[in-house]
Amino acid sequence: MQVPATCPLCEASCGILVDVENGAPKAIRGDDQDGFSQGYICPKASALVDLHADPDRLRVPMMRTGSTWREASWDEALDFAAEGLRKVRKRDRDAVAVYYGNPVAHNLGLLTHALPFARALRTKNLYSASSTDQLPQMLVALRMFGHLALMTVPDVDRTDFFLILGANPVVSNGSIMTAPDMKRRLRAIRDRGGKVVVVDPRRTETAELADQHVFIRPGTDALFLAAMLNCVFEAGLVRTDAKNVDVLRDVVRSMTPERVSKRTGIAPETIRQLAIDFARTPRAVAYGRVGLCTQRHGTLASWLVQALNLVTGHTDVVGGAMITTPAVDFVQLISRLRLRGTYDRWRSRVRKLPEFAGEFPVATLADEIETPGRGQVRALVTIAGNPVLSAPNGRRLDRAFASLEHVVSLDAYLNETTRHAHVILPPVPPLERLHYDIALYAFAVRNVAKLSDPIAPRSASERHDWEIVSELFARVFSPKPLRSAAIAAAREVDPERILDGLLRIGPHRTSVKALREAPHGLDFGPLEPGRLAKCATFIDCAPGDFADEARRELPREADRKSDGLVLIGRRQLRSNNSWMHNSHRLVKGPRRCTLLVHPEDARARGLKNGDLARLASDQGTVVVPVEISDEMLRGVVSLPHGWGHDRDGVRLSVAKENAGTSINDITSDAWLDTLTGTAGFNGLAVEVSRAHDEARVGRLDAE
């Protein structure tokens, strides 16, 4: 039997068909009847079957004493988890921290139940993957358009000029741009006579398909964009009535193509031609993602992308940067939860980093654990996250987690982070739960909706993530005599009931029943222009704090020297979250955790293809295998994220055999975006040298 569903492993939301035999999923292929993905899937989708059957996946709660783990009943584990949280919270509410990873955005039950639980704890120590990924774009949306969720989406299916910076959508299938099969969509742009331009320090898989690839020095995107805007103003091609256009003009006045050329590595004539062509193309859009956000000037670069779209008249129009009309009005939902966005209401205790939407940057979590005093973090809840591998200076965070009094993890694996937990509460795997992409459809390149019912029945020992959170909530916040009644009441408010209500009041007035009657999904049409028109008088193309920061930082950045090697990350098609390395079909074949090095950089250091190299920063040193490639800009090296499965106590048998090296063993928790505190993974100064013959892949603790 084949059952239609949606892949929940990345932002693409591809339609899949699952072969089910005797109630168990056996194989997965693309769903040709899914109008959004049209049969496309990437290799990750097949790993859903591996995850379902993985013997390493936890199916019952686990409790730890010292280094010894044992299975526990749900009541024992939940009681223990709640008691530890209550104990720490009673002493100091801010001593409890919560971290949730990016799978929360792909999980209906966690969105409806885990986020309210985290807020109910009323601790200032909330952290998430947003500050390793997208926080600058959220702040830009808040400052320019008045809401953190008003992040624009490129109308790729109707644009004629697609300018891509710091993103590799052929591999990611979009990021804050849900767009399955980007190869097809990019080819369609070119087939209709349009143009695709990629600006990136690496000739990525997306750049290979583009009309033009422009190498850029990492960390200089804000300079490049400022110079483009300078050209737009000089040519008189401004097409907007937004506030503070004159302020923006003044900010970029000195950022001429000639001034920024040496620092960015881009010729002045290239910058000027791109700016004029972009401004004069009726349907054009600029798009920047992770590479822009995770650098020293991530907020400035993310702002100037939006400013470029805005001043050239390419915002809120067909073929430009648009706002979606999803079946669940995500913007309205966030607003009703009083989460439309806040910034810098308070600062972190140790490093004084600003809060955003009630969260601190994860780069300061280790500070808050290690530094004594009122508010010191002593208990931690992790939800679908592995910050030891995904946060900057992961080894420091690793050590900090080991010092905590009480750690509760909602996770299906005993991984690099959850090995520090005192109790692990494992949820059912994706194919056993109801699925609807509330968050991701809010950033899709077309207004679509699709519901997936569970493919396989859960076993008697398993629980849904929302049930786990509900019971934990009741145990933490309800007096003991009322606890049983509170647990029963919490179970009545399930995700399906919430989703149905949201669909019924949404812009398309649909329902769970209607989605079930359309198992391959509903299509509500292309993105609609004019969604920002009602707040047009409030749109600010040069928010004051951005303009002030740009005046301070851009001239200084333009005049900096570009000596030495710098590091960037790398997205891979077979990898997204670290658990995927426990799927043999995703890690088999050539070694993927390699350091890409330009041939001339390798030659200067006596390195050959396959050699082991020492990769060092101020933070530490690791040993990595070298892969020589002219796809890299000279002076730039690249290592993918999510690897480093060599820690003791981890139960990921396939991943341990393919451990690789964690890029975050050498990234810095002090190299941050100047405005948000987002981790600056890209543009970090490093040194590369040949490793000693006896060196092994992984961290080099001593020579």
* Position with higher pLDDT, 370 vs 591: 370
Tell me, yes or no, whether 261 and 293 share the same domain.
yes
What average pLDDT does the chain have?
95
- CATH number at 299 reads 3.40.228.10
Q: What confidence tier does 354 reach under pLDDT thresholds 50, 70, 90?
A: very high
Q: Does residue 554 lie within any of the structural domains?
A: no
Q: Does residue 146 lie within any of the structural domains?
A: no
Q: What confidence tier does 561 reach under pLDDT thresholds 50, 70, 90?
A: confident
Residue 536 has pLDDT above 90, yes or no: no
Residue 613 has pLDDT above 60, yes or no: yes
Render pLDDT for 90-127 as a digit per residue (tens, 0 to 9): 999 999 999 999 999 999 999 999 989 999 999 999 99
Distance from C-alpha of 472 to C-alpha of 480, rounded to nearest angstrom: 13
Tell me, yes or no, whether 312 and 260 share the same domain.
yes
Report helix, strand or coil for 576. Answer: coil
Residue 701: the pLDDT is 56
Q: Does residue 411 lie within any of the structural domains?
A: yes
Render pLDDT for 255-305 as a digit per residue (tens, 0 to 9): 999 999 999 999 999 999 999 999 999 999 999 999 999 999 999 999 999
Tell me, yes or no, whether 257 and 222 share the same domain.
yes
Tell me, yes or no, whether 660 and 591 share the same domain.
yes
**Structural domain for 33, as ranges:** 2-53
CA distances from 56 to 415, 416, 653, 666 (A): 10, 14, 7, 28
Over residues 150-179, the mean pLDDT reads 96
Whether 234 and 253 have beta carbons less than 8 Å apart is answered as no
Tell me, yes or no, whether 572 and 685 share the same domain.
yes
Quickly count: other Cβ atoms within 10 Å of residue 616's Cβ. Answer: 16
Tell me, yes or no, whether 619 and 669 share the same domain.
yes
Residue 137 has pLDDT above 80, yes or no: yes
Q: Does residue 580 lie within any of the structural domains?
A: yes
Q: What confidence tier does 409 reach under pLDDT thresholds 50, 70, 90?
A: very high
φ, ψ at 497 (rounded to 5°): -65, -45
Tell me, yes or no, whether 469 and 606 share the same domain.
no
Q: How many structural domains are present in the chain?
A: 4
Listed residue (444, 318, 342) closest to 135, CA to CA: 342
- pTM score of the predicted model: 0.96
Using alpha carbons only, how large is the chain's radius of gyration in Å?
Answer: 24
Angle, in degrees to the nearest 10, between helices 257-264 and 221-234: 160
Would you state the structure tokens that stand for residue 428, as one six-digit string? 């059912």
Residue 524 has pLDDT above 90, yes or no: yes
Q: What confidence tier does 15 reach under pLDDT thresholds 50, 70, 90?
A: very high
Q: What confidence tier does 702 reach under pLDDT thresholds 50, 70, 90?
A: very low
Over residues 433-456, the mean pLDDT reads 97
Q: By percentage, how much of the chain surpasses pLDDT 70?
A: 99
Distance from C-alpha of 442 to C-alpha of 24, rounded to nearest angstrom: 32
Residue 600 has pLDDT above 70, yes or no: yes
Beta strand 96-100 pairing with 379-383: parallel
Residue 531: the pLDDT is 87
Tell me, yes or no, whether 6 and 87 share the same domain.
no
